[in-house]
Chain A
Amino acid sequence: MERPLTKNIHLNRPPLDAKEYEMAGGYLAVKKALLKMAPVDVIELIKESNLKGRGGAGFNTGMKWSFVPMGEKAPSTKYLVANADEMEPGTFKDRLLLEGNPHQLLEGMIVAAYAIQANTGYVFLRFAYKEAAKRILQAIKEAYEAGFLGENILGSGFTFHLHLHTGVGRYMCGEETALLNALEGKRATPRAKPPFPQVSGLFGKPTIVNNVETLCNIPHIINNGADWFKSLSHSEDGGTKLYGVSGNVNAPGCWELPMGISMRELIEEYAGGMKEGYKFRGVLPGGASTDFLTELHLDIKMDFKSVSMAGSRLGTGTMIVLDDRTCPVGFVHNLEQFFAHESCGWCTPCREGLPWVEKILWSIEQGKGSLTDLDLLEEQARLLGPGNTFCALAPGAAEPLQSALKYFREDFEQHIHQHKCPYD
């Protein structure tokens, strides 16, 4: 099994420096793309590979790039931003790539920037990733020294400057337009789309924001081609995927596996199955803002389409497992507390609706709830749905809530009837 993203990551030693990375076949893609390919060819190749955004939305990356205005009439200033603000609860896949092989991200960014002809890039990094920050800074320094960053890279005439920007711990910054506002020094509130960042992004200039894992795939596609990339996968979405499992399983962790591996295989084989004394009850398949799936769904493929058909989302591909000894109400309350706190406060439903949801859940968890609360929660989950709010934060928050009400309703009712949490 090929593991292009993680093959050079060794947790027991520091990441490859520029030289080592080059010796391991790194920066070949930069040489190939910048010296032998036209930007439009790079975009076409990525489009063809069917690489889908690994941040959760699953949009075709090459397609996203193709919306950037190109040519003489296009604005001369464009930006490329790596979204490394990995703050989705239960998600820790980008951290592995950031700490494990920062040069791989840099290489992906250089090629991506070349494809859209952006001369400036930013890595927007989650505040808590202190070690990653150090390693990225070191890698940027080395890449400048080696001539992969800066003016006229490898004599190609292409210039790319890269900066690290560390956040201050706002989940909202994972949303690409809020990220751009934060990068501009403004409040991290999302922007209305259209206009899309590809047209008016950072400082009003054409901008591409890509997830770290997405960008790390780029060098390998350049080096090995679209067909190779597709062949890595077990599904129609190309490539490998970093999957993660947390919860009361025997071996929580993060693995690079073919896209479309089954959920059962992931939990039972890679995560070693449930810990002794714990039974599987459900799972958030792609981070905290995805709908619960249950045992019935264990055999679905973990790709964008299959998870979606099952009623949830692949999201970031890092799942949180719910067991039979953990209170689902408390579980969801914990999540909603997070989402309510991380709401930016821009639009009404999210700002006022999520705290309400959180308070109701807490009162149910405390044994103070009533059955009408469940109707209210269901109604709120519906009202917080996509399109009703300004961005995807509240709809994401509604997903675990609505599915918990669907699959674990008896737990909610027990809380209400027993006037206490039955798991206490």
Chain B
Amino acid sequence: MATLYIDNRPYDVKEGKNLLETCLTLGFDLPYFCWHPAMGSVGACRQCAIKIFKDENDTAGRLVMSCMEPVGKETRISLDHPDAEKFRKSVIEWLMTNHPHDCAVCDEGGSCHLQDMTVMTGHNYRRFEFPKRTYVNQYLGPLINHEMNRCIQCYRCVRFYKDYAGGKDLDVYAAHNHVYFGREKDGILESEFSGNLAEICPTGVFTDKTLKQHYSRKWDFTFAPSVCQHCSLGCNIIAGERYGELRQITSRYNGDVNGYFICDRGRFGYEAANSVDRIYQPALKEENVSLNQEYIINDIAALLSTSNCVGIGSPRASLESNFALQQLVGNGNYYSGWSDEEHRLNKAALNILQNRTAEIVSLKQIEQYDSILILGEDLTNTAPMAALTVRQAVRKKPVENAQQNINLATWHDAALREYIQQRHSDLFILHPHSTKLDEIATQVSYSTPHEIAAKGFTIAAAIDATADQVIDQIATSLLNAQKPLIITGTSLFNEPLLAAAEAIVKALKKRGKQPGIFITQADCNSMGLAMMNVPPLSSAFSKLSDSTLIILETDLYRNLSTEKADEIMNLPKRIIVFDHIKSTTSEKADIKVPVGMFSEADGTIVNNEGRAQRFFQVFVPKNEWLKESWRWLSLLKALKDGKAIDENLSISNIQSTLVEALPQFRGIEDAALSEDFRLNGQKVPRAPHRYSGRTAMLSNENVSEPKPPQDIDSPMSFTMEGYRGIPPSSVTPFFWSPGWNSVQSINKFQIEIGGPLHDGNPGVRLVNSNSSITPIDFEQKTEKISLKEFEWQLVPVYHIFGSEELSAKAPAIAELTPKPYLGLNQYSLAKLNLQENDMATIEHHGRAYQLPVRLRAEINNEVALILFGLPQTAFFVKPVIIKIRPASNGITNNNSKHE
């Protein structure tokens, strides 16, 4: 601890941190631009100037930039010194000489850090009398809008995009007062994290282009704390609504999960909620009956009580909805919706976490590991934020060295990058094809999934052997690391990979290391579903004949081959689908019931590390169908059982039944404060206190303002009324603090800058150690795959945009989804006598599909890559062996399912 005197008042503070973050932690309002808590200091903007004094006798002091000065044992500073105040005001005056002052038409207005800092410094009178410089803007793709005239040259954008996120195509050009931030020429930003520019930029240069389609000021939104639904990581997000429409997703800081950032799929995938593929009205497939709500519900209830019911749950539906379905159909009649492979994979993932051989690593904790092995996972495309944290992790050791060798502080960003250059700690990637993280890897190797698993077992065996026998570079690195981490996942559908990962962590543990494990899965609640411990689809077959099948929020055609899915869909007498979005499955159902998407629903999902996280309803849609599946299913259960309907069934009610029935979920009630929580007797408002237009927005329907909807599931109101102040972290709908209208207000919500939120980061880790050490299994469960002439192993390749079901429905994401292709190496192309872009015919299960071929020089001879999850490649649901031949002209494209 050290003593910091601020304007002669002493404070106990941490030594070595910079003065800016220390002052902010202490709650002082000190303006800044170029510093960012996640990216450190560079001293460019000069906005955070303060006075520093040598000792108590020094009255003159020296003007310094607080972001560039460390806290010493005893430091004396002044924030209020007239020189410092004058200088800070002058910095704004300089920045404003060229700023267009177009706040009224700027998307950033009302949530603008530049506005906040301008007010904070007190600059308000323009003395600059000359023309402003102007720039030409660029087209940067469908996600981000560019308006360079507003730029104040804080350099944050390039520092985030290039230095932090490893992007290549955004840079700074020109010099003096004509510095330009953009691309070499117009074009789509290539980084998977480009959306963060909208939050990183302190003004309106980079803004959310999708928001522009339905713009609203920050103060006019209704917000809710939510959790991203587009991969298994569960990044925390803030979802914003206006006029009954979901309009914006921003990052919600969680120091254990996503930190300050989210990926572009998470930020821009939300428009699935407004997509033309939404199911808004219930539909009966054949009968033409009135779609009266009561009638349909009663009709379904009648069906359920007169026939045997089977339920299929979903890894993208909440725990509560899955549980409500299980309750409705009965324990023995409830299945997961997974194929046998997916079922085994997700169970295996869960088992590894439960065995607790290794530390279960949270997304943000990845950054603390100094030797990382990635076994068969293309993180950038399957769990993008994990790729971003791995990029930070590889800098950990060099940063520590810089501290030790030349005493560089961890926040001294530019100096650190200069000293470290390209050095990074060990990262090994074993994957079938090249990935974006390869550029920071110590070693990469491209092989078949089975070979990767086999290599994993070899590494485990090498670690298990005595030290002097370790000749494997990866094994040696993991053994020598302070904190070794194994990252793997389910995306290659290869169970031995997980077994190999487990063997490695066990071997490391045996050698006295504290290894970490991080396993990614396919969907936002895959882990939750695995924890429910229900059988896979194949077990349901015997019960399906003549049954009433309820399918919850899932598309069987994404999980099973078309043949298998058709088989299932043909067996039951009736199929009822509860879903919010159209799918092959929903369109084949006899009854299709619309339900609420995450923005219209409350629920709990469990992320890949077993963290239960609560998402909250953002708004109450006018369409009364759009409620949580669990609400409909609970209603049906009451009707079926002939019990009284509980109109006020809240999420707490269903959660308490849930944890009673499934005690492994004990703790989910603590993932968020319950609905009866109050602060000073008040609810937490979802809308900022400047929310406007409430009395007018529905006046075309009725001049009397309707009663605002009540939220029976959370301690938040749907309005601007309620507690003014910083709410507890689990029910923080938006970040705002007096004088801090932008996202930078997050500083006020943290215990210390960059640390946990006040009263802790939300979420509850459910998977806890059972610390039973089972023996290491080095047995290679890898089957040798033997290929015949003109056969290849079809291996999935993922793309951040398009491979995930829901986000693919968002127009901006759809625009960025790549065209499907079949990836083959030079040898395979030559063997097939094919050139790039020629059509190839894939034969599988007696069907033929056509795809253009693309050269992927790095892959193995036996491997053919296929872009996963696109409508055109939907026939591919698990690794298979295929026959490939050149497409001859006479053969028509039989890939007709979606065309």
A residues with CB within 8 A of B: 170, 172, 187, 191-192, 194-195, 199-200, 203-204, 340-349, 351-356, 359, 363, 376, 383, 387-390
A355: chain B residues at CB < 8 Å are 97, 176-177
| Stretch in B288-296, B349-357, B408-416, B572-580 with 4+ CB within 8 Å of A | B408-416
B636-651 interface mask toward A, CB cutoff 8 Å, 1 = contact, 0 = none?
0000000000000000
Q: A352-B94, A376-B127 are in contact. Are A345 and B175 (CB under 8 A)?
A: yes
Q: Which A residues are in CB contact (< 8 Å) with B98?
A: 352
Whether B62 and A387, one on each chain, are in contact in the complex, defined by CB atoms closer than 8 angstroms, is: yes
Are A347 and B418 neighbours in the complex by a CB distance under 8 Å? no
18 sampled A-B residue pairs with Cβ under 8 A: A172-B175, A204-B418, A340-B177, A345-B174, A348-B45, A348-B94, A348-B152, A349-B46, A351-B177, A352-B98, A354-B176, A359-B130, A387-B63, A387-B64, A388-B49, A389-B46, A390-B43, A390-B46
Which residues from chain A contact B46 at a C-beta distance below 8 Å? 347-349, 388-390
Q: Which residues of B contact A363 (CB under 8 A)?
A: 129-130
A342 touches B44 (CB 8 A): no
Q: How far is the CB of B210 from chain A (nearest CB, A)?
A: 31
Is B87 an interface residue when CB atoms closer than 8 A count as contact?
A: yes
CB distance from A244 to the nearest CB of B (A): 27
Tell me, rounded to whole Å, the shortest Cβ–Cβ distance linking A386 to chain B.
9
CB <8 Å contact, A349 and B91: yes
> Per a CB cutoff under 8 Å, which of A194, A204, A346, A354 touches B421?
A204
A354: chain B residues at CB < 8 Å are: 176-177
What CA separation (Å) do A348 and B153 show in the bound complex? 8
Residue B677 at the chain A interface, CB threshold 8 Å: no
A355 to B175, CA, bound (A): 12
Residue of B nearest to A387 (CB): B63
Q: Do B178 and A200 touch (CB < 8 A)?
A: no
The answer for the CA separation of A355 and B177 in the assembled complex, in Å, is 7
Contact A390 B128, beta carbon cutoff 8 Å: no
B interface with A by C-beta (< 8 Å): 42-47, 49, 62-64, 68, 87, 90-91, 94-95, 97-98, 127-130, 152-153, 155, 172, 174-179, 406, 408, 412, 414-415, 418-421
> A352 and B43: CB pair below 8 A?
no
Chain B residues contacting A195 (CB-CB under 8 Å) are 406, 408, 415, 419
Q: Are B177 and A343 in contact (CB under 8 A)?
A: yes
Binding site secondary structure of chain B: mixed
Nearest chain-A residue to B421 (Cβ)? A204
CA distance A343 to B98 in the complex (A): 16
Residues on B with beta carbons closer than 8 Å to the beta carbon of A172: 175
Q: Which residue of B lies closest to A380 (CB)?
A: B90
| CB <8 Å contact, A353 and B94 | yes
Find out whether the CB atom of B406 lies under 8 angstroms from the CB atom of A199.
yes
The distance from the CB of B652 to the nearest CB of chain A, in whole angstroms, is 52
* Bound: A354/B176 CA distance, A: 9
Q: How far, in angstroms, from A199 to B45 measured CA to CA in the complex?
A: 25
- Chain A contacts for B63, CB-based, 8 A: 387-388
| Cα–Cα, bound, A390→B415 (Å) | 14
Are A347 and B421 touching (Cβ within 8 A)?
Answer: no
Q: Complex formed: what's the CA distance from A342 to B176 in Å?
A: 6
Looking across the interface, which residue of chain A has its beta carbon closest to that of B49?
A388
Given A383-B87, A387-B63, answer yes or no on A348-B44 (Cβ-Cβ < 8 Å). Answer: yes
Task: State whether B97 touches A356 (Cβ < 8 A).
Answer: yes
Residue contact B415 to A352, C-beta cutoff 8 Å: no
Task: Say yes or no: A348 contacts B408, CB within 8 Å.
Answer: no
- A192 and B415 in contact, given A345-B176, A348-B47, A356-B128 (Cβ under 8 angstroms): yes
Q: In the assembled complex, which residues on chain A have CB atoms less than 8 Å from the CB atom of B415?
A: 191-192, 194-195, 200
Q: Establish whether residues A204 and B419, one from each chain, have CB atoms under 8 Å apart when the complex forms.
A: yes
Inter-chain CA distance A37–B676, complex, in Å, is 83
- How many inter-chain contacts with C-beta < 8 Å in the A-B complex? 101
From residue B182, how far is it (CB to closest CB) to chain A in Å?
14
Q: Which residues of A contact B47 (CB under 8 A)?
A: 348
Q: Is A200 touching B128 in the complex (CB atoms < 8 A)?
A: no
Name B398's closest neighbour in chain A (CB-CB): A204
Complex Cα distance, B46 from A340, in Å, reads: 18
Distance in angstroms from B660 CB to nearest chain A CB is 59
B117 to chain A, nearest CB (A): 12
- Residues from chain A with a CB closer than 8 A to the CB of B176 are 340-345, 351, 354-355
Q: Which residues of A contact B91 (CB under 8 A)?
A: 348-349
Whole-angstrom distance from the CB of B501 to the nearest CB of chain A? 35
| Contacting pair B177 A352 (CB below 8 A) | yes
- Which residues of chain B are within 8 angstroms of A344 by Cβ–Cβ distance? 175-176
Cα of A397 to Cα of B218 in the assembled complex, Å: 43
Whether A345 contacts B179 in the complex (CB less than 8 A), given A192-B414, A192-B415, A383-B87, comes out as: yes
Tell me the complex Cα distance, A187–B155, Å.
13
A387–B83 alpha-carbon span in the complex (Å): 12
**B483 nearest CB across to chain A (Å):** 25
Give bound CA distance, A354 to B127, whole Å: 15
Report the Cα distance A355→B129, complex, angstroms.
Answer: 12
Complex interface: chain B residues within 8 A of A199 (CB): 406
Give min CB distance, A78 to chain B, whole Å. 14
Query: For B408, what are the chain A residues with a Cβ–Cβ distance below 8 Å?
Result: 195, 200
B823 to nearest A CB, angstroms?
34
Apart from A341-B176, A349-B94, A389-B46, 17 more pairs, CB < 8 Å: A172-B175, A192-B414, A192-B415, A195-B406, A200-B419, A203-B421, A344-B175, A347-B44, A348-B46, A348-B47, A348-B91, A349-B46, A351-B179, A352-B94, A352-B95, A355-B176, A388-B46
**For the complex, what is the distance from the CA of A387 to the CA of B84, rounded to whole Å?**
12
B97/A352 in contact, CB under 8 A = yes
Min Cβ gap B19→A in Å is 14
Picked from B127, B172, B418, the residue with its CB within 8 Å of the CB of A187 is B172
Of B43, B45, B64, B94, the residue contacting A356 (CB under 8 A) is B94
Distance A194 CA – B418 CA, assembled complex (angstroms): 12
Chain B residues, CB < 8 A from A187: 172
**Chain A residue at minimum C-beta to C-beta distance from B175:** A345
Cβ contacts under 8 Å, B97 to chain A: 352, 355-356
- Specify which chain A residues have a CB less than 8 angstroms from the CB of B127 in the assembled complex: 376
List chain A residues, Cβ under 8 A from B152: 348
Are A345 and B178 in touch, CB under 8 angstroms? yes
> When the two chains form their complex, are residues A390 and B44 in contact, meaning their CB atoms are under 8 A apart?
yes
Could you tell me if A383 and B62 are in contact, using CB atoms closer than 8 angstroms? no
- Chain A's nearest CB lies how many Å from the CB of B203? 14
Q: Could you tell me the distance in whole angstroms from the C-beta of B195 to the nearest C-beta in chain A?
A: 26
What is the chain A residue whose CB lies nearest that of B174? A345
Enumerate chain B residues within 8 angstroms of A203, measured Cβ to Cβ: 421
Shortest distance between the CB of A392 and any CB in chain B (Å)? 14
- Nearest chain A CB to B333 CB, angstrom units: 64
**Residue of chain A at shortest CB distance from B127:** A376
| B414: A residues at CB distance < 8 A | 191-192
Q: A192-B415, A195-B408 are in contact. Are A345 and B153 (CB under 8 A)?
A: yes
Of the candidates A195, A352, A359, A376, the one having the most CB atoms from chain B within 10 angstroms of its own CB is: A352
User: In the complex, how many angstroms separate the beta carbon of B98 from the nearest chain A beta carbon?
Assistant: 7
Q: Which residue of B lies closest to A379 (CB)?
A: B90
Docked complex Cα distance between A187 and B159 (Å): 13
- Cα(A203)–Cα(B420), bound, Å: 8
Cβ contacts under 8 Å, A387 to chain B: 62-64
**A342 to B153 alpha-carbon distance, docked (Å):** 16
B779 CB → nearest A CB, Å: 46
Is A388 a contact partner of B87 (Cβ separation < 8 A)? yes
CA distance A352 to B175 in the complex (A): 12
A200 to B, closest residue via Cβ: B419
Q: How far, in angstroms, from A320 to B443 measured CA to CA in the complex?
A: 59
Partner of B45, one of A192, A342, A347, A383: A347
- Chain B residues within an 8 Å CB radius of A345: 153, 174-179
Residues of A within 8 A of B128 (CB): 356
B184 CB → nearest A CB, Å: 14
Q: How far is the CA of A352 from the CA of B46 in the complex (A)?
A: 12
- Taking the nearest CB of chain B, how far is it from the CB of A223, in angstroms? 35
Whole-angstrom distance between the alpha carbons of A389 and B87 in the complex?
11
Q: How far is the CB of A1 from chain B (nearest CB, A)?
A: 43
B90–A383 CB distance below 8 A:
yes
Which B residues are CB-close (under 8 A) to A351? 94, 153, 176-177, 179
Contact A200 B418, beta carbon cutoff 8 Å: yes
